[in-house]
Amino acid sequence: MARVLITGSAQGLGRSTAEELLRRGHRIVVHARNQDRATALAGLTAQGADLVVGDLASQQQTRELAVQVNQLGSMDAVVHNAGVYADEQRFPTAEGHPRVFAVNVLAPYLLTTLIDRPGRLIYLTSDMHAGGNPTMTDLDWTTRRWNGVQAYRDSTLFLTTLAFAIARHWPPVRSNAIDPGWVPTRMGGPHAPDDLQLGYLTQVWLATSDEPGAKVSGSYWHHQQQLPAPAAASDPQFQDTLVSTLEQLTGAPFPTLTR
């Protein structure tokens, strides 16, 4: 039995992942953005799920969220499911970052550095990362005209790169990126063509399975199949540039591996 944290688990893929893990007898920690959203998780907490609350668009609340998680005890796996799609506007956070960058990249980085290290880390990305811009230029979109789709593409490339950087720097941790597909969730829309069940089963499998195929690290997955990732995500120099940039933007040092 594993203990798994799933961010953004009030609905959609995160909710489905949490429900499936609970059905299989695992212990889960669910996450909601605020107390109003937490009411949607009452059915899971009634079955024994632990609950943590915090807005990932806020660095302060993300730090407080990490404290809540650590107070519950160590996790076997963390599924970084929460994400924002292509905002029509920049929607700056309190720290001045676009919301899509704050939620999709800065928050997973902060949680990764602050939560007691689990054995498995899973980052939900998108095949749109193939169109991401592999530079650290104007991450806050203060000199460019806002383009929500491009900002989302960039964020998924950065998140995939972070997953691979962790796999390289922390060999004992299995760190992988997953494209769940275009599935019918609030983000994907009701007419999305992919299978919702296939969209979350890879997360469940990588988080808990002892099958040899699930015991890998530094891979990009879609429906339990390994696929090639963009060259930038696998480039050690780009990985380290990204990590260094995230350290500066959050003030959270990337922990060195403690054996």
Band (185; pLDDT cuts 50, 70, 90) = low
Give the pLDDT confidence score for residue 198 in this predicted structure: 82
Whether the pLDDT of residue 181 is over 80: the answer is no
CA distance 4 to 180: 18
Whether the pLDDT of residue 186 is over 70: the answer is no
Give the pLDDT confidence score for residue 259 in this predicted structure: 42
Whether the pLDDT of residue 93 is over 60: the answer is yes
pLDDT, tens digit (0-9, with 9 covering 90-100), for 114-170: 999 999 999 999 999 999 999 999 999 999 999 999 999 999 999 999 999 999 999
Instruction: Go through the domains of the chain in sequence order and give each one's CATH number.
Output: 3-250 (3.40.50.720)
Contacts of 255 (CB under 8 A, 6+ apart): 113, 117
Residue bearing tokens 């720097």? 169
Task: Name the amino acid, one letter, at 110.
Answer: L
pTM: predicted TM-score of the whole model, two decimal places: 0.94
